[in-house]
Amino acid sequence: MQKIFKFEELKTADLIIDAIYKGGQRGNASDDPLNKLIGCSNSAGFRPVGSLLNWQYKYIVLYSSLSDIDWPDYLDEETGQFIYYGDNKKPGYDLHDTPKNGNRILSHYFEITHSKERKDVIPFFIFTKAAEGRDMAFKGLAVPGYPGVSPAEDLVAIWKTKSGQRFQNYKAIFTILDIPIIERKWINDLISGNALSINCPKAYKKWVNERIYTPLYSIKTKKYRTKVEQIPNSLEDIRIIELIYDTYKDNPFAFEKRACELVKLMDQNIFQYDVTRPWMDGGRDAVGKYRIGLNRNEILVDFALEAKCYNLNNAVGVKETSRLISRLRYRQFGILVTTSYVHQQAYKEIIEDNHPVIIIAAKDIIEILRNSNYKTLKEVKNWLEGI
């Protein structure tokens, strides 16, 4: 059961992975729980504790709503990788010229992470918005970088365009360390400047002293998604799906081609694909190859794709999923793309029988398009029209 701390308990509470920390009830900024919980400010994404002078920070609190479509912060709970975007989010400012000095913080601590002065890096505490009011969820203690990601890739300045103006912001990659609980005693030690005290978590001390990452891996239990989890809930996203449906509802063969383009947007390792002829598809709308490995040392794995252009209230059922599954050969996997959702019974059979089938439902289509910078109805329409 998820641990919930009341607002009155925050000053003495430990930080527990996925615990909820309740906000207040006054109806103003003082309801923010993080100031009371961990001594940081009560606003913004970057909330440092300490002083910028001579980099005398004790720790940094990073907050994210995880709902900004232009800057999609993302926590991969299976691998412990956390992607966080900096605080230069509008044109007209230099990359490091931000009110909270967030991008300067990222630049400084990522730089010394890759030097011999890792002991001067401070912990980053990650919080995200919870379901109600100002409530917050603790997601873990993070450190700059991630295993296998090079120093040239874990902090990258990316260009964006807004209102016709170009500007830069950071994309930072962190590791959530395998630390289930941060005790209040260590937080007090951090404030007093004793980060590597007897109360310091082992995984953090190992990272500082031995330069070894121990990510918080969390293997998800296999679970089929409900209808609510497969279809979008915002009006804008629903309109995007309806636009795709209306464009292809009378031309399923054209939708099959578009579905192939979608899966290639999802994963650039989709090496090639061929849309089968509508009267000779043999239960597959497309076949293709997925590339694994490096150039000149790779293997190609076959996959089959089925595309269903249905409206949001028309589920893909057992008949359609069985059709795809029955055509999969040894060492093949399947991809099902639909503008609706997969019915509970069909989804459950795929999961419980361990069929190698990837489901791309309406909500997934929205996510793929967003990650490829097609976020608005106009942008998606231009993509569909090939503009």
pLDDT in tens, 83-129: 999 999 888 888 998 888 999 999 999 999 998 777 889 999 999 99
Say if residue 152's pLDDT is above 60: yes
pLDDT of residue 277: 56
The answer on 199 and 172 residing in a single domain is yes
| Nearby residues of 102 by Cβ (< 8 Å), 6 or more positions away | 44, 45, 46, 86, 87, 88
The answer on 77 and 51 residing in a single domain is yes
Say if residue 278's pLDDT is above 70: no
The answer on 254 and 156 residing in a single domain is no
Number of domains making up the chain: 2
The answer on 150 and 111 residing in a single domain is yes
The answer on 26 and 75 residing in a single domain is yes
What's the average model confidence in pLDDT over 241-262? 93
Residue 67 inside a domain? The answer is yes
What's the average model confidence in pLDDT over 282-294? 77
The answer on 142 and 232 residing in a single domain is no
For residue 84, give its domain range. Answer: 4-210
What's the average model confidence in pLDDT over 186-203? 94
Of the three residues 178, 210, 242, the one that is the final residue of a domain is 210
Model confidence at 253, in pLDDT bands (50, 70, 90)? Answer: confident
The answer on 239 and 197 residing in a single domain is no
Lookup: tokens for 197? 């005290």
Residues 238-273 as b/e (b if ≥16 CB within 10 A, e otherwise) read eebbbebbebbeeeeeebbbbbbebbbbbeeebeeb
pLDDT of residue 281: 46
Of the three residues 184, 210, 236, the one that is the final residue of a domain is 210
Could you give the C-alpha distances from 336 to 258, 260, 323, in angstroms and in order?
Answer: 13, 10, 11
CATH number for 191:
2.30.280.20
The answer on 331 and 257 residing in a single domain is yes
The answer on 301 and 205 residing in a single domain is no
The answer on 287 and 345 residing in a single domain is yes
What's the average model confidence in pLDDT over 355-378? 92
Residue 222 inside a domain? The answer is no
DSSP state of 24: -
Say if residue 300's pLDDT is above 90: no
Model confidence at 59, in pLDDT bands (50, 70, 90)? Answer: very high
Average pLDDT, the chain: 89
Model confidence at 283, in pLDDT bands (50, 70, 90)? Answer: very low
Of the three residues 157, 183, 210, the one that is the final residue of a domain is 210
pLDDT of residue 284: 55
Say if residue 387's pLDDT is above 60: no
CATH number for 319:
3.40.1350.10
What's the average model confidence in pLDDT over 255-265? 92
